[in-house]
Structure 1
Amino acid sequence: MRLLSTKSLQRNMTLAKPIYNGKGQVLVGEGVPLTPRIIDRLIELGITYVYISDPFTNDIELKSPISEKTKKEAFQTIEQTFEVVKSGKSLSNVFLFEQLGKKFSFVVQDILNQIKNHTDVISLLSEVSAYDHYIFTHSLNVTIYSLALGVELKLPERKLEELGMGAMLHDVGKMLVPYDILTKPGKLTNEEFYVIQKHAEDGFNILRNIPNLPLVAAHCAYQHHERMDGSGYPRSLVGEDIHYYSRILAITDVYDAVTSNRVYRQALLPHEGLEILYAGAGTKFDLTMIEAFRRSIAAYPTGLSVHLNDGRKGIVIRQNTGTSERPVIRIIEDHGARVQTPYELDLLKELSVVIVETDTTLLGKNEIVPPKQT
C-alpha cells in the first residue's frame, strides 16, 4: 500500500485502509474504488493523506498499535465522559463519575498492554479520520503516543497508568468551549484565544473532584500547554515546575495536533512534526523526552515514497525499531530510470545513504504500475 496525498488521487484507485470519523466509525471502507465524488469529499473533509493499494507494496501490512475493539471502547468511554461534561450534569453525581473513572482505568490498562506487546514503532498515520469530533480522536492519539513515550522513558507501571489517564482526559475542558470557536477555520481573536486557553483550568477543575481518578490527571489537563521557558499557559510555569507527565503531554499533544487533519490546517507528515518539536527543544520542550519520542515513532511511515541522497527513489516498507529516521526502503527508481527488479535497501546498514525528500504525489501516469519482472 502506498501513502498518497488526497490531491494526487485518481479515479479507480482503491483504498487500502478505511477512513474514520472522529468517533471511530468508518466513513469509507477498505477496498472501495475511488470516484471523483469520493475524492472531492475526502478533500472537503480536510483529509490530507490516505493509503491506496499499490502493486509495488501490496505485500506490506500495517500494524495498528491497538485493536479495533480497544479503539471503539476508548472512543465510547471518552465520548461518554466528555458529553456528560458538555451537558452540564452536576459533578456531584458521585456514582456516575466513579463508574466513568473505572472505565478509563480499564481502557488505559488495555491500551498500555497492547503498546508493550507492539513490536514496531508507533505510527497512527494509517488511522485516517475526519475532524468532525476531532477531540475524541486527538485524546486517544495523545494517549497512545504518551504511553509509548512513557514506556521508552522506562516509567513504572503505576506511573504509566496515571500518565494514560491524564493523557486521555487532558482536553476535557474543551467541552466547555463554544463549538464555533473550537472549529473556527480562520485566526482567533484575542478574546477567542482567551476562551480557548481557559480549557486548561476548566479541565483541572472538572477532573480534580472525580473519584477513582488520580489527582495528577487533573494536573495533566492544567499544565499540558505549559512550556519549559515559561512561555506557556495558564500559569507560565518554568522547567521542572511543570509536572513530569505534563512535559510528556506537551510533546505528544503538539505532535498529534500538527500531524492530524484540522479544520484550520492540513496535516503534516511525521518527520515534519518532529522538526517542529526539535525547533523548540530545550526551550519549549524537554530535549531528552523529544529524543525518546523520536525512538518511539515512525518518522517516515510505511508506504511513504522517499528520495535518497544518491539519486535513488523508493517506498518505505519496514521500520527499524529505535531508529525512526533509518527505515528499510524498496528501491524502484535510480537516477530517473525504473529499476527492472525492485530491491530492498536498509538505511541502518547503509549509513552513507539518507532520505533527503518525501513525496506523496504521483510522479507520473504510470507511477503505481510496477515494472516488468525479469
Structure 2
Amino acid sequence: MKDARFRQVSLVGKRVNKTIFNRYDVMLIPAFSILSKRDIDLLCRQSIQLSACDVEDAKVRALVGEAVQEIKEVFGAARQSGGLRLTTIRDKLVPLIGELSHCAKLGQALVYLEQNDDYTFRHSVGVALFSRLIGQNQGMPGKDLDELTTAAFLHDIGKIRIPDSILNKTGALSNEEFACIKRHPEYGYEIVKECSGITDRQALAVLQHHERMDGSGYPHGLRGGDIHPFGKIVAIADVFHAMISKRPYKNAVPFYQVLQEMNSDAYGKLDPGLSIAFIDRLMQTLIGNKVSLSNGGEARIVFIKREDPVRPLVESGGSYMDLSTIRDLNMVSIL
C-alpha cells in the first residue's frame, strides 16, 4: 500500500479526465478537478488507484487550447475584414496539428475536442486533426499533408457570412434557415478563392466537404468520382467530429455508435476505403486508452482486429473481453 501511495502522490497537481467514484457509486472527485494531497489520501483510504490514463497530459490540453484560440482569431479577423490570415494557419496552426497527430495520448485530444464551448473553433481544429490522420494513413508526403490540414481548418469559413442567430439557434431550423446554412460551402469557396496562396484542391475541399458519394450531398449533388480526394477526406473528418461532439442542444453520440454509423456510411455516403482506413488508424492510436462500457464498467483497449476495428479486445480488472464476440457489450466513450 505504501508503494501504491507513493505512486499516487506523483499525481498531485494533475487534472483528472473523469469523475472518480467509489465502489458504492459515491462521487469522490469531479471530472477535470486538480488533484490535491487530500484527494490522494482519500483515494488511498478507499483503495482506489489512478493510472497515467486517468489524468490529463498538460501538453495535449495546451496544444488543443492554443489551436482553438488561434483559429478563433483567424475567423474573427476574416469576419471583420474579409481577409484570411493564411500565414497564421501555415506557420502556427499546421505545426500544432502535426504535433498533435503524433501524440501518444490522442484519446485525450478527443476528449478536449468534443467539449461544447467554442464549438465552431473546436470543430475546425478537430476536422484539421482527423483530416491529417487520414492523409497520414494514405501515405501523403509532408507538403500535401500541410495543404490538406490548411484546407480542413478553413472548411467552414463560409459560416462567417451566416447570421449568428441561425448558427447559434438551439431549436429546429426552418426550411429557409437550413437553406441558408447549406450555402456555407459556396460562401467558403468564394472567400478562399480570393486568397492568394490557396490552391485549387484546397478550395475544392472547402466547396465539396458536404458532397456525398451517392449524390445526396450539397451544394451540387456530386457523386463519387466527381468529388476531389481532399473533399472526401474533409467530409469524413467533418462527420466524425460533429458526431462525437457535445452541443448545448444534443449529447455526443456514443463512441461505438459513431464508429458503427461511419462504418455503415462507408458503403454509401462516404468514401469506403478512406473511412475504413480512418477507423482502423484511429482505433490503433487508442490502444492503451481507457473506455467506458455499455454495462457501466471501464476497460482498457488492448488489441485492435483489422477485420473488426470497432470491436477491440479490452481488459478490465485483469480479465480480457473480446467485444467482437460479446455483441451486447459496447464502448460508450473514451476516458
Measured against aligned partners, the alpha-carbon deviations of 1:263-309 in whole angstroms (never above 9, x if no partner) come to 3321012221122222322221111111111112249893333369x
Matched residue count: 300
Instruction: Note closer, same or farther for the CA distance 1:64–1:166 as it changes in structure 2 (3 Å cut).
Output: farther
For the residues of structure 2 that align with 1:222 and 1:265, how far apart are their CA atoms? Answer: 27
Name the counterpart of 1:73. Answer: 66
Output the aligned Cα RMSD: 3.4
Matched position secondary structure for 1:67? helix
**More strand as a share of residues:** 1
Counterpart among 256, 262, 265 of residue 280 in structure 1: 265
Q: Is the 8 A contact 2:255 2:331 kept in 1?
A: no
**Paired AA for residue 279 in structure 1:** S
Residue aligned with 1:220, SS: helix
Q: Which amino acid aligns with 2:64?
A: K
1:4 Cα offset (Å): 6.8
Matched, 1:306 2:293: yes
> Structure 1 length normalisation: TM-score?
0.69
Higher RCO (C-alpha under 8 Å, 6+ residues apart): 1
Q: How does 1:287-298 map to 2 (within 5 A)?
A: 287-298=272-283
Contact 2:302–2:314 (8 Å) recurs in 1: no
The partner residue of 2:300 within 317, 321, 339 is 317
Q: Distance in 2 between matches of 1:158 and 1:321?
A: 30
Task: Give the counterpart letter for 1:305 in structure 2.
Answer: S
Percentage identity across aligned positions?
27
Counterpart amino acid of 1:164?
Answer: T
Contact 2:304 2:311 in 1 (8 A): no
**1:102-152: CA deviations, max 9, x gaps?**
221123442353245334665644216643421000110111111111111
CA deviations on 1:189-246 (whole Å, 9 max, x unpaired) are 1100011011111111111122333332222211100001111111111112111011
Q: Does 2:24 correspond to 1:14? A: no
Conserved 8 A contact 2:152-2:205: yes
Paired AA for residue 173 in structure 1: G
Q: How many angstroms apart in 2 are the aligned matches of 1:227 and 1:246?
A: 10
Counterpart CA distance in 1 for 2:199 and 2:26 is 51
The question of whether the paired residues in 2 share the 8 Å contact of 1:122 and 1:148 is answered with no
Displacement, 1:346? 6.7
- Aligned equivalents of 1:197 and 1:65: distance in 2? 37
The code of the aligned residue for 1:316 comes to: A
TM-score normalised by length of structure 2: 0.77
Q: Residue 161 of structure 1 aligns to a residue in which SS?
A: helix
Where is the helix percentage greater, Structure 1 or Structure 2? Answer: 2
Q: Which runs of 5+ in 2 are unaligned?
A: 1-15, 37-45
Answer with 257-266 or 321-330: which moved more: 321-330
**Which structure 1 residue ranges, 5 or more long, are not aligned?**
19-28, 33-53, 92-96, 332-341, 362-374
1:218 and 1:274 map into 2 onto residues whose CA distance is 28
Q: CA deviation at 1:257?
A: 0.6
Rounded to whole Å, the distance in 1 between the matches of 2:253 and 2:69 is: 27
After superposition, where does 1:161-180 map in structure 2 within 5 Å? 161-180=146-165
